[in-house]
Amino acid sequence: MLTDFASLSYTDQFVFLQPNHETIAMSIPTSAKRYTNKEVADLLMLVGDILQILEANRFRIIAFQNAAEAIKNYPQDINAIYADGKLQEIAGVGKGIAGAVGELLREGIVVEFEELKRQVPPGVVAMMQVPDMGPKKARRLWQELSINSIDELKAAAEAGKLRELKGFGAKSEEKILKGIELLSKRGDERMPIGVARPLALSIIDGLRAGLPAGTLQRIEAAGSLRRWKETIGDVDILCVSDQPAAVMAAFQSLLQVADVTHAGETKSSVILANGLQVDLRVVEGASWGAALQYFSGSKEHNVPIRDLALRRGWSLNEYCLTATGSGEAPAGEERFFAEEADLYAFLGLDWVPPELRENRGEIQAARTHKQNWSNFRTFAASCTAIAPGVMAPPASKRWPNKHGPAAINIGRCVITASAWVWSAGWIVSACTNKLRKSRASINVILMRALTSVYCAAQKSRFWVTGHSACPMQYWPNWT
């Protein structure tokens, strides 16, 4: 699904920011709309796109892009930061951008926005979403062929009108049409984990196979995939390597890649043939723990973790902890963590499994140092919707065979016994009380009874061996 920018009001499309604005702190914004971090970031990114089309100063464009990325990934609510007068404390947000963001949050619009409205049609900015359609191409198509939207661009390419421009030919039209098709596949739909996980693992395997041994010291999928969410928006992969250029080149040349949307020194983004976006980041080994924690999420979990760090005098980002000066450590001192567990321990917490990171009590539980997370991880992995033969949880995620506490072993016995008693109850019901009903009803009851026996056997196998031939989510609710 393509983003229809033309259907949005210009207030929701653009914010024009001047570098001479001053930061104005107000406790209560007067804007009727309360902007989220993502909305502010999207507006700033759109401003950067417009400035690219207008061929503005490239350093100013980079400033908007950096500020947008910083605000998008910032763990705290932008409205609260503005109310405290601390917008400029966000890395990448300078005085001018902070002033304009404050005006947006306070008034719901920035005055200079009307100027951009008159200069660039919103559909031209939307055209930059098409892979390989940079600002210069969008500007030429707009000014020389009067193409003002993606739909008009597609129609012109199909009619062979683009080749009228110098530098455009039949291959250019074919590539643009392919890019529009890829863009339409992206949409906003999330992909089932049973589809996304094998793709992510194939990317990781492809990198390992395509690079010399030792190039990748560590590599792992992060984001909602690592948290084993039912659906995935895009895939984040982190790795440690002292040869980031070689890793980026190998990543961009994988067979699964249909298009490269961003190619940087330590980060690249690609679109797979099915429209799934995959981001790869290379970090230093010393930053692995902080990076893995940051990019695994969720946002709901990371916000209180960062608040906890701030209360202890540290600012946490995707690379390290930096002393704020409010604690014992001098301002600017950095602490790096090679492992996630070390980061959590530094904050006085037990390591929290990614599956639990939803800010639903896991942080409070981690403070008690009394949790047996391994048991939960095994149970959660066994309950995950599994495509047989594709996503079976590894042995490390299965319930320990014999090593659980006595209480857990007793619980296994009780549950297993209950399952068999329940099955016996169905059989007795089928053979006595229900005999007066029709043959069809008896058949249904007997089928349920047999299913219950089977599931009871699988439950017994699961609680004793730690795995089952039939995943738990497929067990009927009457068992």
Compute CA distances 189 → 196, 271, 314, 411, whole Å. 12, 14, 37, 40
Same domain, 115 and 133: no
What domain range is 241 assigned to? 191-283
Residue 386 located in a structural domain: no
CB 46 within 8 A of CB 14: yes
Same domain, 21 and 94: yes
Same domain, 11 and 112: yes
pLDDT in tens, the chain (479 residues): 334 433 343 334 433 333 333 333 333 344 457 787 878 888 888 888 888 898 888 888 888 888 888 887 776 778 888 988 989 888 888 888 888 888 888 888 877 766 776 788 888 988 988 877 888 888 999 988 888 889 999 898 888 888 888 888 888 888 888 888 877 766 556 788 988 999 999 999 999 999 999 999 999 999 999 999 988 988 999 999 999 999 999 999 998 887 888 898 999 999 886 778 899 999 999 999 999 999 998 988 998 999 899 999 999 999 999 999 998 899 999 999 999 999 999 999 999 999 999 888 899 999 998 877 766 555 555 554 443 333 334 444 334 443 444 444 555 555 556 656 665 665 665 555 544 444 444 555 555 566 556 555 555 544 444 444 444 433 333 33
Same domain, 33 and 112: yes
Same domain, 74 and 90: yes
364-398 exposure pattern, b = at least 16 Cβ within 10 A, e = fewer: ebbeeeebebeeebbbbbbebebeeeebbbeeebb
Same domain, 421 and 470: yes
Same domain, 303 and 314: yes
- CA 63 – CA 48 distance, rounded (Å): 8
CB 310 within 8 A of CB 302: no
CB 235 within 8 A of CB 196: yes
CATH for 197: 3.30.460.10
Residue 389 located in a structural domain: no
Number of folded domains in the chain? 5
CB 132 within 8 A of CB 175: yes
Compute CA distances 251 → 183, 203, 258, 361, 384, whole Å. 20, 8, 12, 38, 29
Q: Is 475 helix (H, G, I), strand (E, B) or coil?
A: coil
Residue 383 located in a structural domain: no
Same domain, 14 and 112: yes
What tokens were used for 473?
Answer: 């989510």
What tokens were used for 371?
Answer: 């949790």
Same domain, 172 and 271: no
Show which of 263, 283, 303 is a domain's final residue: 283
Helix H or strand E segment including 238 = strand 235-240
DSSP string, 113-176: HHHHHHHS-HHHHHHTTSTT--HHHHHHHHHHH---SHHHHHHHHHTT-GGGSTT--HHHHHHH
Residue 111 located in a structural domain: yes
Residue 147 located in a structural domain: yes
Q: Is 242 helix (H, G, I), strand (E, B) or coil?
A: coil
Q: Is the pTM of this model over 0.85?
A: no
Helix ranges restricted to H, 267-319? 288-296, 299-311
Show which of 77, 104, 119 is a domain's final residue: 119
Residue 223 located in a structural domain: yes
Show which of 119, 149, 166 is a domain's final residue: 119
Q: Is 262 helix (H, G, I), strand (E, B) or coil?
A: strand
Residue 133 located in a structural domain: yes
CB 292 within 8 A of CB 222: yes
Residue 50 located in a structural domain: yes
